Structure 1
Amino acid sequence: MLSLSLTTTTTIVAIILIFSLHHTTSLPPYAPLSTCQLTSFNCGTITNLSYPFTGGDRPSFCGPPQFHLNCQDGVVPVLNISSVSYRVLSINSVAQTLTLARLDLWNETCTKVYVNSTFDDPIFGYGLGNQNLTLFYECKPTSAFTEKPKNLFHCESNGALNESYALVGSLPSDPILGIVECVQHISVPILKEQADRLVENRSLLREILMKGFNVNYWNPYESVCLECVSSDGHCGFDSDKNQPICICEDQLCSTPGKRNNVGVAIGATVGGVAALVVILGCVYFMIQRRRKIYQKSRSMELFIAPTSSGDTFASTTITSQSLSSYQSSNPVTRSYYFGVQVFTYEELEEATKNFDASRELGEGGFGTVYKGELKDGRTVAVKRHYESNSRRIVQFMNEVQILARLRHKNLVTLFGCTSKHSRELLLVYEFIPNGTVAYHLQGRGSKSTLLPWPIRLNIAVETAEALAYLHANDVIHRDVKTNNILLDDQFCVKVADFGLSRDFPTDVTHVSTAPQGTPGYVDPEYYQCYQLTDKSDVYSFGVVLVELISSLQAVDINRNRSDVNLSNMAIKKIQNQELHELVDPYLGFEKDPAMRRMTTAVAELAFRCLQQERDLRPCMDEVVEILRGIKSDGLGGREETEILDIRTDEAILLKKAHSPVSPNSVVDNWVSGSSVSNSS
């Protein structure tokens, strides 16, 4: 404890010195630090950018250097990653994704920059929907071609045209490579749908390179920035010292929310006493924090693969799963982490037939899900994470620890996981055979007619019950969407994907954290204020309700600009009393009074959930009661319904509905979806 205290004291003193010394960095004296207060800036064709990005009117010291955009000619935003320059086509700050295209290959297929595009650091990583493309340069045939290769193009080198080739997919998969020799080659990702086009038409190579590819990004100084913002400061970065800084107006913040005043601090005895008190307080805080980190690390160390000796370890929850129906005659000693079974990589590799592509069930932000068959007879869904870096490990463990202690009929069951020391991070869930709600509402292989109103209303009720259960157990899901609502063979709900979920202490009003989630579902107040609450889930659930009554996607760039976000579109339609234009025509809104009454009531509830201010939204318990009432009254055949007041100045929705008729019968035969998604 003494060594811990000394170390902590040294750390605190260093921190105080950093923040108390007057600004002595290499920041240019003529550049006012207050410019970092800009909430947004533009760089070429990319608009409304904010921290961590810099460029344009936002100086480079207002964010980490890795996120500095070079606004070439005021038109082209360029980002340098691992010594390669990329043209930035789009930035999604909510999903933390970029679409990039190599600058040297913009409107060009030839290059002199023979460097692969790699994204393997903690800040930038490959996003979804990419396919590998290899370009071969300065090639010559080793034998005569019987016909002209389809993947051939020409580039000039030393005043002469040399043959070059574009190969989609992994190497080697093209017989052309066996009969040519090439001096140079580079690897460049492209969008998967564009790769399919390229295979069919090689002349599109130039166009497809300009479509770019997807990249995920993560700011390692995010938590420091949050602390700065919460103390009324603005985030910045000192490149010379390679550390984040907190700016208050035109000077560095010495302590959260206060201005730097070195002279007063040095000259006043009171300042010294105050500093001592701060140090002692910080020492105590850091000791407590280190104790928690130590305990957590101990928990992580428990998370190891089973040893050859068959020793087991118990989780801190002392929870065991009953697998009696799957037990073989030969008992096998198993290891458990927080009450869930720890599998070896080899077991799950065998269960999924070496992660065969034909067993893919879906693909999400963190990994791909495969169908598997365990030796004990269970059919499972195996989520395979794309990466195994420290951030992914934390998300992986977070999902295990949350799901291990939750049991609800409408939450997906976690059967087990691999060790953090495994070759890959794998999670093993119960297999849910009927796909996602999104698949049935908007999927390519299905029509909205497969989900009649009684099924949709039941989905709403059961999803709300699952979220209410989570909130009652101090958990916020943080990624509620129709892609994360699975349906079993009886079309009962199983809420899935807890990688972004957070514990929410009962004694706080909110948790300060960077906004995460899926575009179209993210609570606008959470996005603007960095304050996560249970009402953030309520907002996302409001979007789900609108999807259920409309069969429309949460985000669709093919709609009118004001209607790209379904939430905005729904609010506008409801306020203008144009609900009939929003509801899926299949549901019979115009013809069936009972249907009109129920969908209008659900739309009103969605309207309340989608309020910009979280205090105006209902809690999930209230949402559950309202939906149960709609289900009971509507499907029970009430003769009349009351006008429901949304209690806003903008709109009052409902007219009285008379002489209701029974809703359409639920069809007996269903077409099951062949996939289950695990989007994040």
Structure 2
Amino acid sequence: MGSWSEQLFLLLLCLVLLAGAATPQTAPPLSVDSADRWVRPGCQSKCGNVSIPYPFGIDSGCSRPGFEINCTDGTPYLGLGGNIDMVDIQLFQGTLVVNNYIAKDCYYQNGSLSDYILPSISIIGLPNYKFSSDRNGFVAIGCDAQGYIVSNDEENTFRTGCSSYFTNASFMPNGTCSGIGCCTAPIPKDLRSFSLLVDSFNNHSNCSFALCSYAFLADVGKLNFTLSSFTEYSNRVNEPLTLDWAIMNQTCEQANGTRDFACVSPNSYCLNSTNGPGYLCNCSQGFHGNPYLNDSNGCSDINECSAVPSPCVKRCHNREGSYSCSCPWYMYGDGQRDGSGCKSILRLLYLSLGVGLSLFFLIAIGSWLYWIHKKRKLGELKQHFFEKNGGSLRPDIRLFSSQELEAASDNYNQSRILGEGGTGTVYRGVLPNQNVIAIKKAKISNDEAEVQQFINEVEVLSSINHRNVVKLLGCCLESQVPMLVYEFVPNGTLAHHVHDEGKRGSLSLEARLRISSEVAGALSYLHSAASTPVIHRDVKTTNILLDHNLTAKVSDFGASRMVPLDQNGLVSLVRGTFGYLDPEYFQTGEFTDKSDVYSFGVVLVELLTGKKPVAKTQAVKNLATLFMDCVNSGRLVEILEERVVEEGTPELLEAAAELAMRCLSLKSNDRPLMREVAMELEALTRWKIHPWGNVNLEEGDSLLAMVGSSSPSVLRDYVNSSMEPMVPFEIVR
């Protein structure tokens, strides 16, 4: 480590090297040599006041074929014997300006014709030229004018025009050719020859202030039309017209590398014409001259440093095609006049030293304060989340820390996901004692209603203990979103076993009846035996889990409500799933324990039919409506799942269907209580003996036909009279 002075010198040296580095810039506008010199040696550079740069030329050998100019009496004409006089050649734009005769149609005040001129112009014999369709347009002027432009080319014919009629001069806007007094019409691309026609509607008898109509082709961008134009055009013979020119017949890609390629100057490039086939040449950036010449008048380097004023404030370094600026060693900056320029390095040193020391102290103090603040806020945040997520309820369950659940779920690895819902994701977790758990993590959201659903689920499940209700083991309330920990139910959802590919028809009728009986028993417990009755409000097959023995576990109590016995029939926003939703609840917003009965009826129908809660036939119907239609029309067998029909007796199937029908009644008062449903299903699961075992079926008869012909009420009475006495189901409290 050297002395302080040596370190300061090294710092200054680095700053000089960085700040004084040459930076190429785009060349500023500079004055260049006159285009009068952009001709071949020994050739005439002007005709009158018009410069004639190569590839144009006047004398023999001074032009490229097709670009000959005839200079007669100081006026340049296109072609060797042409009659189109030129006004200007624009080398880099690929355009030139010529004079175009004006068509006239004039009358005396008495309405008789006084002057009539219909000119035409053709460049068919000049293949390198075209009338510019981008710059030019057809123009007609007059108070009752109608003008036309007609192509003279037999192969490419067209006719277009416009008209203008008005009698009051005050109607005409100044400065624009908008259709009143002056109108325009576009012309097509590749136009090479045309004639002009002009006429009037009423021989100008209604507008004495303008006794002539005019028509011509002109550069409409330069047209400035006013009321005085009527008088001016009476003495004007022609109007400037723009032509596009190009090296014809080939594109850049086709011409490059051939002997006849026109872009011969070094540092030039080729660009295709925008008006038909052909190409143009131009000088590369940083160069100026005639790209069609391969001599000193071709594309040469622009010395940007010779410009006045110079583009650099101190030092300018010209380079081929570019330039750079630099500052002296004791200054810094980009050196550009329109940039940061050159500034004293001592000012930068003092500024840097002051800023550096200030930043050092600010960072040091800020880091110390941040460490203290972060430590305090972490504790406050955990307490905030704990209270926000329902910590004030003090549930009688285990409280897990966020670190415990992160470790158990492998930091919520995607491979651990068991399922996802609208409000959260369920992960498979393994505790240190190897116990498997299910972790339900709420989605990060600003919606307080979603957090309240989790809090509600903790409150409900912490007061319930039933073998067919999923057990809540604990929760985590100190994280940003609440998390619930359940017993792990390994065999998936009932919907998976009934509907998913590979599982359809896997459940026997006995298993289906037993599962429905267990679910009905759990719901009956919630409605009638819990310390405070609970209405689930989202009963469906995806919320019914199965363990290894296919024992049902009712889950997802986020939408549940604890309802005291004297308050059944509360009103709330409609919650539930389409296809399972109680129609009466949907219409009134009033939910009761009978709302769960309806949803359970849909689950029972799913088990009997194997169909999803929303089915599609010729018209879209939900499963409940479809099932009721089939039962009422004596077509029960058509909708039942094949395995259910094969394993069930007609009486058993009819009894189960009749029970489902009562659960699906549109009026809640017509539905049975959940405990009645549970008792009937318990009886159906215990019915092992075929009551019609002694009946002899004739050949061709089948139990399926008997189901279709039996009356639900008769079978129900028969089942109730022939069943063994019902044994009350067991409830674990």
TM over 0.5: no
TM-score, normalised with respect to structure 1: 0.44
Question: Higher relative contact order at CA 8 Å, sep ≥6: structure 1 or structure 2?
Answer: 1
TM-score, normalised with respect to structure 2: 0.41
Greater C-alpha radius of gyration: 2
